[in-house]
Amino acid sequence: MSAMLKGYRKETLQPAYSAALVFPFLLIYHTGTVVLNTTYINGADALLIRLLGALSVRSMFGSALVLAIFFVIWQLRTRASMKIRSKILALSFLESFCFAVILLFLFGLLMPRLGLCMAPLQGGIADLVLYCGAGIYEELVFRAFLLGILIMIFQNLLKLKHNTSAVSAAFLGALLFAAFHYIGPAGDVFSLEGFVQRILGGLYFSVLFVARGFGVTAACHVFYDILVGLIIS
């Protein structure tokens, strides 16, 4: 059993599985923004588009291009197999959903003090579209990019040990992840309860990212937002 789990974990950490996990949500998000003809997009997506704009790259699909380049570089560096087994992929979706339920349960234990925090949006399909984008692009920015950059800063510039650097990066990244939700005219109204919950969520996603990779973490984020924003709320 242990060997099977190790084999499953190793196989699903490959870039191809992460790409397959996020693709349905990516399709829903970008198709939805076009069909709904809305400029109300996810904040992390907007941040990437603004950064690309500074480089004279202007496209509403600029963030998708960044994601594609991320996967290409990851694949070229690892040279992992691109073969995907449907049963293993289905298990990965189920695993991601289970991790979302676990996070929901953990926050449920804290509900008397914190409650479940989710920004009020537009309702219905529009919310589903935004939740799909949030799971992908917030994990791309705050876990795939920011977490790695912070670890390098703590380890190479501040000369901290690897474990200390990883823990410090996870906490600082979680703080920045939480603060990001309150920035700009479309940001949420600040509350200490919501801020603390988002810090805890950021730490949870950081641990999950290190243990299970980008795809499972992004899918878990999407499932969690859908559970809280569309089903429970």
* C-alpha span between 21 and 219 (Å, rounded): 7
- Structure tokens, 166: 């990883």
At residue 105, what is the residue type?
Answer: F
Q: How far apart are CA 196 and CA 175, in angstroms?
A: 9
The tally of CA atoms less than 13 A away on the side-chain side of residue 77 is 8
The number of distinct structural domains making up the chain is 1
By residue range, what is the domain housing residue 108?
A: 2-114+121-232
Count each helix (H run) and each strand (E run) in the chain, helices first: 9, 0
**For every one of its 233 residues, what pLDDT tens digit does the chain have, with 9 covering 90 and above?**
688 899 999 999 999 999 999 999 999 999 999 998 876 788 899 899 999 989 888 888 899 999 999 999 999 999 999 999 999 999 999 999 999 999 999 988 765 555 556 555 566 788 899 999 999 999 999 999 999 999 999 999 998 998 899 999 999 999 999 999 888 776 778 888 889 999 999 999 999 999 999 999 999 999 999 998 887 76
Q: DSSP per residue over 95-130, as a string? A: HHHHHHHHHHHHHHHTTTTS-------S-THHHHHH
Question: Phi-psi category of 191—alpha, beta or left, where left has phi over 0 and alpha has psi -120 to 50?
Answer: beta
